[in-house]
Amino acid sequence: MAPQHTPALPLLGSRKPSHRERVADALRAALIAGELRPGEVYSAPGLAARFGVSATPVREAMLDLAKEGLVDTVPNKGFRVTAVSERQLDEYTHIRALIEIPTTVGLAGTADPVALEALRPVAQEIVTSAAAGDLIAYVEADLRFHLGLLALAGNRHLVDVVRDLRRRSRLYGLTALAGQGRLEASAEEHLEILDALLARDEEAVRTVMTRHLGHVRGLWAAP
């Protein structure tokens, strides 16, 4: 696997986020990708050096993540990443499947082809990140792709719910998949989803989405 490099801070959504929000998004991506491990204590200065920013926005961002239950504060030391139980992962994945699969399938009959094609560069970015072994960039692009798809359904609250579920999940197996050369195959599924949607093939969309979400629990989330 290619060596990790300092990730560019993600830019999510249509509104330009504050620097603090961008740092928080980058930290969330690192948490989801398993780059920051449960039970480990990380200092704000140490994370700041890793992400190439000052300690103040990192400290503020970690306090935001603490409110979301993703980390706990450790006085005079920093922040400890909270663990996610097997049952929690099962529950998160189940809810995501109930929301994301039928919503994405429904887009086969309603989504504007131009809007779908606009997501192809993001899908390709996922493939490129997988090939480079850049797990944080992979997770960030994956989030943009799926939330972008769901946004085409026109339900902002649904998008918010899925965003929260994705933030709380952990994909500890990503490192192993990348090391085994299997992450690129999963990445290619994003292009499969787009092609099935553009073909208006609901069953193909359902098949690929079911397989794709199955990776989250069956492969990626295994600690």
* C-alpha 72 chain-centroid distance: 21
pLDDT at 217: 65
Tell me: do 62 and 90 sit in the same domain: no
User: Within this chain, do residues 63 and 36 fall inside the same structural domain, yes or no?
Assistant: yes
Average pLDDT, the chain: 85
Residue 81: DSSP 8-state: E
Q: Could you tell me if 164 and 92 are in contact, meaning their C-beta atoms sit under 8 angstroms apart?
A: no
**Whole-angstrom distance, CA of residue 209 vs CA of residue 103:** 10
CATH number where 90 lies: 1.20.120.530
For residue 49, the number of C-alpha atoms closer than 13 Å in the C-beta half-sphere is 4
Report yes or no on whether pTM surpasses 0.85.
no
Using alpha carbons, select from 91, 97, 92, 100 the residue that is nearest to residue 32: 92
Going by pLDDT thresholds of 50, 70 and 90, the confidence category of residue 184 is confident
Residues 90-135 have pLDDT tens digits of 888 899 999 999 999 999 999 999 999 999 999 999 999 999 888 8
Segment 48-90, tens digit of pLDDT: 998 888 999 999 999 988 988 889 999 989 999 998 888 888 8
Cβ proximity of 44 and 78 under 8 Å: yes
Query: What total number of domains does the chain contain?
Result: 2
Q: Are both 210 and 131 inside the same structural domain?
A: yes
- Point out which residues pair with 72 in neighbouring strands: 80
Mapping DSSP to helix (H, G, I), strand (E, B) and coil, where does residue 63 land? helix
Same domain membership, residue 105 and residue 159: yes
Q: Are residues 44 and 57 in the same domain?
A: yes
Q: Measured between alpha carbons, how far is 130 from 190 in angstroms, rounded to an integer?
A: 12
User: Is 213:122 a contact under the CB 8 Å cutoff?
Assistant: no
Comparing CA positions, the residue from 150, 148, 101 lying closest to residue 122 is 148
At 190-210, the pLDDT tens digits run: 999 999 999 999 999 999 999
How sure is the predictor about 218, in pLDDT bands with cuts at 50, 70 and 90?
A: low
Q: Cβ distance 120 to 183 under 8 Å?
A: no
Q: Are residues 145 and 75 in the same domain?
A: no
Position 156, amino acid? R
Site of tokens 């400290």 = 59
